């Protein structure tokens, strides 16, 4: 690092990307684990954003392995319903990016959108997440879950040392503006951590080995891309590799990343894609 501090440890960064992102990440991690690279078991730090917070919380719990987590993606989840980011909401996102000078301004705009929506669906969404998580207690392994303050637009990095419990942290990280209402915790309202960044890979700064698994690689305007964040980590001296969906995975995702029917095809696509990344991940992780 520029200040002379030695890098150490291994970090797994899991980005956002809806239900298809959950499935694809689980497939990629299962495929790598079968090749002898069990990132979820070996990481000193797991950073989870939105979909990645769901995957990361389960893996960091130590109660499930990558293969079993993958197999769960092939099953129906009770209470999981199809949602969609409508054209009007997507237009608000695009307009917000164009009008925002920085990520915090954009976050506050998206927070205003979320706060203005009727508070329906919050309990059902939370119940689905409660069922999905194997434990509602923060794990001993370092897990960081990202969310954005709906009023200020400032990112929060929740962990076991804070005052937000794990279920609320994951629900907040998955509270997509325009789809689900903000989550209230620690006296604040929180929205999806992916509003700040699809990966928030900068939180892995200081780690020597970083693998970023990013269902959404793009950024735009004040929102940094996964590639740019990975490049900054590498410039600081870390060994970094970035895995993004290949063409087959993008086809499996379809047009709606929040469609539960697409989760299993995305998981299978991730499992198939993993083989292409074994060598590069091994070079970073080992």
Q: What is the pLDDT along the chain (286 residues), one digit of tens a residue?
A: 445 578 999 999 999 999 999 999 999 999 999 999 999 999 999 999 999 999 999 999 999 999 999 999 999 877 677 777 777 777 878 888 888 989 999 999 999 999 987 766 667 788 889 999 999 999 999 999 999 999 999 999 999 999 999 999 999 999 999 888 999 999 999 999 999 999 999 999 999 999 999 999 998 889 999 999 999 999 999 999 999 999 999 999 999 999 999 999 999 999 999 999 999 999 999 8
- Strands 45-49 and 239-243 turn out to be unpaired
| Confidence (pLDDT) at 174 | 96
| Confidence (pLDDT) at 29 | 98
In angstroms, the CA 262 to CA 257 distance is 7
Q: What is the DSSP letter of 5?
A: P
Q: What is the pTM of this model?
A: 0.94
- Alpha carbon distances (Å) from 171 to 34, 127, 143, 148, 176: 30, 9, 15, 12, 10
Give me the catalytic one of 38, 83, 149, 192. 192
Are the beta carbons of 18 and 262 closer than 8 angstroms? no
Give me the catalytic one of 38, 50, 83, 100. 50
Residue 192 bears catalytic tag: yes
CB atoms within 10 A of CB 1: 11
Q: What is the DSSP letter of 51?
A: H
User: What residues are paired with 49 via a beta bridge?
Assistant: 146
Residue 50 bears catalytic tag: yes
| Confidence (pLDDT) at 120 | 62
| Confidence (pLDDT) at 85 | 72
Question: What tokens does 175 get?
Answer: 């509270």
| Confidence (pLDDT) at 92 | 77
- The values of phi and psi at residue 137, to 5°, are -100, 140
| Confidence (pLDDT) at 273 | 98
Are the beta carbons of 148 and 155 closer than 8 angstroms? yes
- Strands 10-14 and 142-149 turn out to be unpaired
**Which residue is associated with the tokens 């890098």?**
7
End-to-end Cα, the chain, rounded Å: 20
DSSP H helical segments within 61-86, as ranges?
A: 66-72
In angstroms, the CA 31 to CA 243 distance is 13
DSSP string of 198-256? SS-GGGGTT-SEEEEE-S----BTTB--HHHHHHHHHHTT-EEEEE---HHHHHHHTT-
In angstroms, the CA 285 to CA 10 distance is 7
**Which residue is associated with the tokens 């090749």?**
35
In angstroms, the CA 59 to CA 12 distance is 11
């Amino acid at each position: 690092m520029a200040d002379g501090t030695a890098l150490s440890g291994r970090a797994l960064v899991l980005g956002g990307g809806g239900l298809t992102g959950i499935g694809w990440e689980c497939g990629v991690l299962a495929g790598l684990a079968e090749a002898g690279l069990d990132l979820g078991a070996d990481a000193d730090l797991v950073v989870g954003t939105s979909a990645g917070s769901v995957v990361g919380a389960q893996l960091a719990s130590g109660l499930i392995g990558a293969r079993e987590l993958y197999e769960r993606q092939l099953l129906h989840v009770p209470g999981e319903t199809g949602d969609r980011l409508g054209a009007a909401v997507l237009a608000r996102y695009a307009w917000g990016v164009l009008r925002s000078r920085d990520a915090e301004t954009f976050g506050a705009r998206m927070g205003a959108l979320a706060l203005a929506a009727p508070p329906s669906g919050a309990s059902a969404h939370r119940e689905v997440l409660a069922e999905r998580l194997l434990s509602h207690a923060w794990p001993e392994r370092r897990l960081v879950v990202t969310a954005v303050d709906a009023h200020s637009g400032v990112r929060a990095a929740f962990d076991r040392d804070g005052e937000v419990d794990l279920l609320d942290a994951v629900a907040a990280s998955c509270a997509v503006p325009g789809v689900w209402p903000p989550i209230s915790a620690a006296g604040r309202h929180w929205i999806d951590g992916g509003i700040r960044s699809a990966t928030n890979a900068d939180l892995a700064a200081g780690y020597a080995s970083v693998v970023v698994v990013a269902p959404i690689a793009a950024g735009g305007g004040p929102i940094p891309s996964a590639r740019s964040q990975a490049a900054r980590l590498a410039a600081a001296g870390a060994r970094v590799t970035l895995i993004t969906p290949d063409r087959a995975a993008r086809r499996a995702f379809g047009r709606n990343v929040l469609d539960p029917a697409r989760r299993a095809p995305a998981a299978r696509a991730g499992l198939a894609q993993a083989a292409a990344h074994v060598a590069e991940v091994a070079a970073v992780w080992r």
